[in-house]
Every structure is written in C-alpha cells, then in structure tokens.
Amino acid sequence: MKITAIKVFVCSPGRNFVTVKIHTDAGIYGIGDATLNGREMAVVTYLEEHVAPCLIGRDAHAIEDIWQYLYKGVYWRKGAVNLAAIAAIDMALWDIKGKAAGLPVYQLLGGKSRQGVTLYAHASGENIADTLDKAAQLIDQGYKAIRLQSAIPGLPVTYGVLGDKKDYYELQGNRPLPPEEQWSTKKYFNLVVELFKQARERFGNDIHLLHDVHSRLTPIESARLGKLLEPYDLLFLEDASIAENQDSYKIIRQHTTTPLAIGETYNTIWDCKDLIQNQLIDYIRVAATHAGGITALRRIGDFANIYNVKTAPHGAPDLSPICFAAHMHLNTWAPNFGIQEFVGLGNEQVKQIFTSTVTVSDGMAYVSEAPGLGVDFDETAAQQYPYKRSYLPVSRLEDGTLWNW
C-alpha cells in the first residue's frame, strides 16, 4: 500500500489546528494532528516542503521505518516543529493501518486494559468561591477528578482565567500579538493553599483534586508548595517547576510526598528519561502531537511503566480531536495509564470539522470500535474557518522581568 499524496490543512474554528491527511493507492486515507500552538505555520511549511516529498511512494504500513527515517534522517533531531510533524504523519499511518486491518488502533496496540478512561475536568474561577462553584457543577456532571485553578487577587490576569470572565481558551483564535500576564509567587502562595483547604472542606476526601503550577516556581518553592498541599491529598501537582535540568526535581522530591506530573511540552523520551528513571515524577504528561505520535508515546509509556510512572496525556483544547482520539487508544491499552486531562469535545465548529466517535459520560471516555482512530476530518467545513495568527500569552513579574508563562 503506497503513499500517493500528503495534504496539510490549517483551520481556525475558534482556535488554530494543523491537520495532515495521507492518501494511499488502496483508496484508504489517514489523518493526524500537527498543531503547535503559536507556531502553527512553521509546522505547515516543514511538512509541505521538507517531509511530504520524501514520503510519496513509500509503504504506508512501514510506520516504524518512516518514524526512524524522519527522526534520524533529519540529522538535527528533536525539536517541537520536527516532532509535531513526525507525530501527525505517525498518527495518520496508524489510522491507515487500523482501517486496512478493520480494527480500532487500541487493538493493534494490544487490546483493552480497561473498559473506560477516567478524565479530569477543569474548574477555573475568578476567585476561590467561583472556582469551587465550577467544581461543584463538574462533580454534579459525574466527574471524579477536577483540576482547580483560581485567579490571584491583586494580579490583573492569571493563567487559566481571563480578567473579562471569558473562558481562557476562547480568545486564542484571535491574538495577533502575544498578550502579557503578571505573576507573583508571594500572592500565589497566599491563595493556592487556601483554595485546596476550602475544596476539601466543601467536597470531602473522595473526589480527586489536581493543580497546574504552569512552571512558575523554582524547585525549592515547589518543594514548599508540595509540603503545604500534602494535607489536601492531590492526585498530582503539575509542572511545579521547569525541568530542563532534570536533576532539579530531586530537590522537590526530597521534600514532599505530593505526587508530581510533567511533560506536556516534551518532544522526546530524552526530555523525561532522567525524571522517569530516577523516579522523580509519578505521571508523565507527554502528548501524541508534541512528542512524536503513537509510536513514541507507546515507547515512553512502556519505559515509564518499569519505574511505576503512570501516563496522564495532555488534554488541552490546542490538541485537535485527532490527538484526543490517539490518546484514547493509548489510554485504553496502556497497562500503566493514570488519568486523561479533558476540557470537552470542542465547540460546534470543531465538532463539524472533526467528527469523532469517542463518547463521554459520567467523567469517563470510551473509544468506539470504528477501524483506525475513529475520527474524520471535513476539508470543506475546515475551509470556512481560515487560519488566524494567534499567540499564547507571555508572563512577567511585577517588576517587568520576563517569567515562565
């Protein structure tokens, strides 16, 4: 089965998505997600100009060889643009293999390890009471795990919450220049411990609670936060600190039993190898779109399993429903699956373009028996929502110093 054409689409149904479609001489096609938030067109060009021409005529079944060809063959290796492109090709080839076999991708990976996939939802509010009210609504809808984020009093805009009370992802289709946000570690500490104290008082101990620090703390500050949050029993504390220096997580680990999660920006197994091997984290959060697709996530997941690290794939709305479907197949199979982040199946325009067979009920998600990934892409519908340049925010300390967003 030969690859005959590779097409790249970028659409903006409320936010930008980059989609790859691979056609074969068997009449079967596959789709993959190559969305790199804020740098979308770099991946489009990379795919069209540097990847697609090398793959025409190759065997669509040779997923592993094509992965190695694109990774080793590029000489420069690694990198967000490179791995997003490889990821989309890889997903599309798994989609094709599943369709050719008449099997859903999870069956090709080894079959079901569980009946459904546990999700955690987001409650992001203007203040503690607002966040907890939103969490209460999610609990009513059947979610058993909730990520809590609250705006910080005294700071104009905070990660997860916009000042104008709009959902924080809504504006990402329309940010022609990066907006700026502010950060104060002191003000954050005053709020976040109280947030989790009140959450436990209100919801009791049966609900799972999570929190994303979004890399704003130094390792010793993360260690202190982990300690202060221990009484409130988090499922995990996400992105407490940047781990470019993976050794730095030893500082956090030595001081706290709060479980740690990281990995949504990672591109390769090398970005998390030491964290996993030294058991410095509990959950690895790599995304299929940003870390090289299903082939790479399967490998990272198996490696993590040896060290009792569970998988918890990134589930932000800047990953298209194709990536979510890929995660669902991995999550259904992986023996060491932990939990899946979930922010809904997308707005009406997204659902019109990406028709997914994944179903959600009572805080759980389920793959279908559809062959391949079980998600389709409507090119004509996508054309109605052309690309809009858009950026993630940047973050500054109160004195103007550029900080981690």
Interface residues with ligand EZ4 (CB under 6 A) are: 37, 212, 214, 264, 314, 316, 318, 341, 392
Go through the chain and tell me how many residues it has: 405
Q: Least Å distance between CB 37 and ligand EZ4? A: 4
The residue number whose beta carbon is nearest to ligand EZ4 equals: 316
Ramachandran region, residue 134 (left: φ > 0; alpha: ψ -120 to 50; beta: rest)? alpha
Q: Report the residue number, 90 or 212, with the smaller CB distance to Co ion.
A: 212
- Total of residues contacting Co ion (CB under 5 A): 2
Q: Report the residue number, 40 or 264, with the smaller CB distance to Co ion.
A: 264
Rounded distance between C-alpha atoms, residue 301 and residue 269, angstroms: 10
Q: Report the residue number, 63 or 210, with the smaller CB distance to ligand EZ4.
A: 210
| Binding at 392: pick from ligand EZ4, Co ion, none (beta carbon under 5-8 Å per type) | ligand EZ4
Whether residue 214 lies in the annotated active site: yes
Binders of Co ion among residues 254 to 283 (CB under 5 A) are 264
List 23, 214, 290, 314, catalytic entry: 214
The interface mask with Co ion, positions 28-67, x = CB under 5 A, is: ----------------------------------------
Rounded distance between C-alpha atoms, residue 147 and residue 236, angstroms: 9
Residue 337: partners with Cβ closer than 8 Å, 6 or more residues away: 113, 114, 117, 301, 310, 311, 330, 331
The residue number whose beta carbon is nearest to Co ion equals: 212
Q: Per the structure block, which two tokens stand in for 285?
A: 């959060």
Q: Least Å distance between CB 257 and Co ion? A: 21
Q: Least Å distance between CB 264 and ligand EZ4? A: 6
Q: Least Å distance between CB 392 and ligand EZ4? A: 5
Distances 271 to 90, 113, 243, 262, 277 between C-alpha atoms, Å: 20, 27, 9, 10, 12
Rounded distance between C-alpha atoms, residue 293 and residue 279, angstroms: 24
List 71, 143, 159, 249, catalytic entry: 159
Residue 67 and residue 296 in contact, taking contact as beta carbons nearer than 8 Å = yes
Rounded distance between C-alpha atoms, residue 64 and residue 226, angstroms: 40
Amino acid at residue number 260 = L
The interface mask with Co ion, positions 182-221, x = CB under 5 A, is: ------------------------------x---------
Q: Are strands 145-150 and 208-212 parallel, antiparallel or unpaired?
A: parallel
| Binding at 95: pick from ligand EZ4, Co ion, none (beta carbon under 5-8 Å per type) | none
Query: Residue 6 — φ and ψ, nearest 5°?
Result: -130, 120
Q: Least Å distance between CB 290 and ligand EZ4? A: 9
Whether residue 327 lies in the annotated active site: no
Q: Strand locations in 199-252, DSSP E?
A: 208-212, 234-238
Q: Per the structure block, which two tokens stand in for 201?
A: 């008082």
> Catalytic residues, which ones?
159, 214
The residues binding Co ion (CB under 5 A) are 212, 264
